[in-house]
A and B are shown apart, each in its own frame.
Chain A
Amino acid sequence: MWPFIIRSLEVATILLLAAIGELLTQRSGVLNVGIEGLMLLGAASGFLTAMIWGLIPGYLAGLLIGALFGLLHAILSITLRVNQVVSGMGVWLFAMGFVTYWADRYSGPLPPWVTSIRVYGLSPIFFLAIITVVVIWFILSKTHLGLKIRSTGENPFAAEVSGVKVMRIRYICTITGGALAGLAGAFLSLTYLGIWSHLPTKGLGWIAFALVMFSLWRPFILLGGALLFGFVWQFAISPETIYAGIPAPLPILRMLPFIITIILLIIISSERFRRKWWLARPEALGVPYIKE
């Protein structure tokens, strides 16, 4: 049971890091649909760096490349005002092709001397992810910077006449969001998997993206959602760790998480939730800002 929980929490860590970064980015009004791509890049650069220099440099490489591609998305979508969905998709497609070409030839496990540090079986990155959620919650709701970020995402024109530097805020948030997605990718390849195989993210980035939307852009709901989906994801991979000995056919057990997902989707597509969703949604999300 305990190993299953740990594995689940590791999946939750991946989702959490990527999603909290996306949440911050979206709160400033920028949509980054390319986080799956950012995670792939983070995973590959982290893995390759760790093969040479070890674990910590691997994490840093993931963080850095995430920030760089966050910057690219920022330049495209904020300064050049490219359609944000197109720009994000572009980053994702580029990442899929590039990562396949770049990292697939090193498919296989990490060298044995690269091992993850663990506290009671848990990686410190798990705690870092939790702390990041708390910090971002604090910034958004308790600080002037947070007020500026939220204002930028709601109504950049109103923010600008109040003296907020809209462009700068959006750049900061998009780069930070990218860095966190890159770190999530590095954590995936270095700690959760420990091996490289073709396109290892397998849609986790998209789940993180969806989590942001379901969380109504609130960090603590996001935390709950990430934990839940961490368990669901892990369960789909190895239901026998929990259900060993239970006389039910494995394929049906494997279906459970998806049934849960469908039930959840039905609940949140109710009219009440939809209305709440529209109220919570940053009003300027995805809309390029053009100075008057």
Chain B
Amino acid sequence: MKPDAPILEVRGVTKRFPGGVVALDKVDIEIRAGEIHAILGENGAGKTTLMNILFGVLQPDEGEIYIHGKKVRFRSPLDAMNMGIGMVHQLRKLIPAHTVLENIILGHPKTGKILNLKKAREEVESLCKRYGFNLDLDARVWQLSAGEQQVVEIVRALYRGARILILDEPTSVLTPLEIEALLKSMKAMAKEEIATIPFVTHKLPEVFAVSDRVTILRRGKVVKKIETREATIKALAEYMVGREVLFKLDKPQVKIGDEILRVENLSAMSDKGVLALKGVSFSIREGEIFGIAGISGNGQQELAEVIAGLRKPVSGKVIFQGRDITHLSVLERMKIGIGYIPPERLGVGAIGAFSLADNILMSIYFDPEFSTKGFLNYKKIRDYAKKIVSEFEIVAPSIDTKAAHLSGGNLQRLILGRIIPRTSKLLIANSPTVGLDVAATEAVRSRLLACKKEGMGILFISEDLDEVLEVSDKIAPIYEGRFVKILPAEEARKEEVGAMMAGAIPGGS
């Protein structure tokens, strides 16, 4: 075999879905052994379909896949695994209640009939050592951070003998330190001829830092194949979106006003009954965006829910415009001008089985303008819903469309449309851009900045450090339920905040 011969080759693969959507259109990709080959594409570019075909979840309508020059057909993920393809899912395919080790050995033919945990442990440990992974094999998966869970999936794939590793958005949930560790491990794998294929939508800079080559998908077609060292980030983004992209938003200059929210020494339990928020204090002023940077699971969800009134604190106070609202109900909080945008869009943010109008109704039904003596005034409600749909640029056939049928970006616009017009003082935005593509992300961020311009205080929570740095006036990295520090935006340096997100104490080594 020639040294540069592709280990995996996709030739002319086409996939159509019922309804005439062509998800992939004659896609050609070659992956060489030991290379890091990024595949870039927006939501809807066919990324997920391609991944599913490579992992045997879907079968292509046309075209072939070759491994080591031999034509293969995957009927199931098991076939793909047996041919040496490993998959690291973005929505983790792990069992939260089981230990790391149990997750890794599950279903492996080598595991045998009676579990030999000692032998398996030795093998997995040596694998971790070889590629520089750090894992507590006895921890339960639900106790791990998103980044650690990703490592579990990688190790599981390697334990099963993967030579080609597909990674779905590998850097989107990692702290900068974790990203560095992952890149190191990817290089270690490359040395042993294991090819890694990160699929990327949002995080371009990291792609840039590691990959040898990039293939860019747009609307199901390969639009560009390029050696990374010959490309620029801006050029990659433009190939991906098909137009010029604004990377920097103009932060409006707003006069910072009086204090709106003060939180004093707030602590709260997580759903699992662990103390997740440990004595947090801060304040937000009018026209100020207070950004919390941290990997999810460090208490930010609990904090947002306590302020929104969805969760009872164990101790501490929430003071809104000088008034103690710690024990106020959610509805009363809504009425005094507090709005909450939750990270779970379907389920908490909107009800999938309800129409757009009914979803909007949920945040206005108590307003005397729309209901009298318990009877709803549907004419006014529908007019209001239509107004919101056009104002927030929600793309939907009508206001009677079910919310579940909206795309992620449109659903988030609907939620913003529900919440923002009813919010006058304080907006809590928890991961408002997670999972959205470039265009929808842009829309959400500029909406938040518009709120700031109107003088609202905003509590902004995100796992994406770049985003927090970009929009916030103050930045608080959160780690294990505590703010490591609260910094003004001008003083926040990315490396430093990134280290704090991973628990580094400022001033320490």
Answer yes or no: B105 CB below 8 A from chain A CBs: yes
Answer yes or no: A168 CB below 8 A from chain B CBs: no
Expressed in whole angstroms, the Cα–Cα distance for A161 and B57 within the complex equals 9
Within 8 A of B (CB), among A147-167: 147-148, 150-151, 154-155, 157-164
Within 8 A of A (CB), among B110-124: 111-115
Within 8 A of A (CB), among B159-208: none
Is B106's CB under 8 angstroms from A164's CB? Answer: yes
Which residues on B sit within 8 Å (CB–CB) of A144?
105, 111-115
Give the secondary structure class of B's interface.
loop
Answer yes or no: B280 CB below 8 A from chain A CBs: no
Which partner residue on chain B sits nearest A281 by CB separation?
B97
* Residue count of chain A within 8 Å CB distance of chain B: 24
Which residues on A sit within 8 Å (CB–CB) of B103?
158
Is A162's CB under 8 angstroms from B107's CB? Answer: yes
Is B93's CB under 8 angstroms from A158's CB? Answer: yes
* Residue count of chain B within 8 Å CB distance of chain A: 27
Expressed in whole angstroms, the Cα–Cα distance for A156 and B272 within the complex equals 22
Interchain CB contact (< 8 A) of A143 among B94, B107, B114: B114
Is A148's CB under 8 angstroms from B107's CB? Answer: yes
Which residues on A sit within 8 Å (CB–CB) of B18?
none
Is B113's CB under 8 angstroms from A143's CB? Answer: yes
Expressed in whole angstroms, the Cα–Cα distance for A279 and B143 within the complex equals 12
Is A151's CB under 8 angstroms from B115's CB? Answer: no
Is B115's CB under 8 angstroms from A163's CB? Answer: no
Expressed in whole angstroms, the Cα–Cα distance for A21 and B66 within the complex equals 47
Answer yes or no: B87 CB below 8 A from chain A CBs: yes
Within 8 A of A (CB), among B62-117: 77-78, 81, 87, 89, 92-98, 102-103, 105-108, 111-115
Q: Known interface pairs A151-B95, A151-B106. Does A161 touch B77 (Cβ–Cβ under 8 Å)?
A: yes
Q: Known interface pairs A154-B96, A163-B81. Does A147 touch B114 (Cβ–Cβ under 8 Å)?
A: no
Within 8 A of B (CB), among A12-34: none
Expressed in whole angstroms, the Cα–Cα distance for A109 and B108 within the complex equals 54
Is A154's CB under 8 angstroms from B114's CB? Answer: no
Answer yes or no: B508 CB below 8 A from chain A CBs: no
Within 8 A of B (CB), among A253-292: 272, 275, 279, 283, 292
Expressed in whole angstroms, the Cα–Cα distance for A136 and B503 within the complex equals 43
Is B96's CB under 8 angstroms from A147's CB? Answer: no
Answer yes or no: A145 CB below 8 A from chain B CBs: yes
Expressed in whole angstroms, the Cα–Cα distance for A187 and B115 within the complex equals 34
Is B107's CB under 8 angstroms from A283's CB? Answer: no
Is A161's CB under 8 angstroms from B87's CB? Answer: yes
Is B97's CB under 8 angstroms from A162's CB? Answer: no
Which residues on B sit within 8 Å (CB–CB) of A105?
none
Is A161's CB under 8 angstroms from B93's CB? Answer: yes
Chain A interface (Cβ < 8 Å from any Cβ of B): 142-148, 150-151, 154-155, 157-164, 272, 275, 279, 283, 292
List 30 contacting pairs A-B, 8 Å CB cutoff, sorted by A: A142-B114, A143-B115, A144-B111, A144-B113, A144-B115, A145-B113, A146-B115, A147-B98, A147-B105, A150-B97, A150-B98, A151-B98, A151-B106, A151-B107, A154-B96, A154-B98, A155-B96, A158-B94, A159-B95, A160-B77, A162-B107, A162-B156, A163-B77, A163-B78, A163-B81, A163-B107, A163-B108, A164-B107, A275-B272, A292-B57
